[in-house]
Homo-oligomer: A and B are copies of this chain.
Amino acid sequence: MKRDSRLSSVLHALLHMAERGEPMTSETLAACMCTNPVVVRRTMGLLRDAGLVASARGPSGGWQIVADLNAVTLRDLYDALGEPTVFAIGNRHEAPQCLVEQAVNAALDDAFAEAEALLLDRLGKITLARLSADFNRRYAAHRTRT
């Protein structure tokens, strides 16, 4: 299976944008994430629909954060991306006739639902501001070392 890395990607992009302060083109963002401008536009487009970033066309255009870094959590990003499937493990059939399979599914669904709830709760507690601060700590430490 190929894992969905969009959450990781948009976070990477957003922190770079936060550092920069001025609009960044999808080309620039794609370069710093080793991907393709179209992929960036597609993904950032979802964040724009959610009101988190703004895009502008033409010269001096590009992408910019419009939300308050203290107010945006990773959960918000997850939601903006369309609440992608969390687990790579799932039931064989979703609504089986077989009573055995129903019992199996019920047990698995419970456990996975609990884990998903915990994950989303954790994501809801991490703000972009905190990640940005974390990055700046790492940056300072890095400059000290070298």
Query: A residues engaging B (CB < 8 A)?
Result: 1-5, 7-9, 11-12, 15-16, 19, 32-35, 74, 84-93, 98-108, 110-112, 114-116, 118-119, 122-123, 126, 130-131, 134-135, 138-139, 142
Task: Give the oligomeric copy count.
Answer: 2
Interface centre among A32, A100, A105, A126 (most CB of B within 10 A): A100
Select from chain B the residue with minimum beta-carbon distance to A123: B111
User: Is the beta-carbon distance between A8 and B112 smaller than 8 angstroms?
Assistant: no
Select from chain B the residue with minimum beta-carbon distance to A93: B34
Interface centre among A86, A101, A116 (most CB of B within 10 A): A101
Q: Show 25 A/B contacts (Cβ-Cβ < 8 Å), sorted by A.
A: A1-B1, A1-B2, A1-B3, A1-B4, A1-B85, A3-B85, A3-B89, A5-B89, A8-B101, A8-B108, A11-B107, A15-B100, A19-B100, A35-B92, A86-B89, A87-B87, A88-B88, A103-B138, A107-B126, A111-B119, A111-B126, A112-B119, A114-B118, A114-B119, A115-B115
Q: How far is the CA of A16 from the CA of B33 in the complex (A)?
A: 49
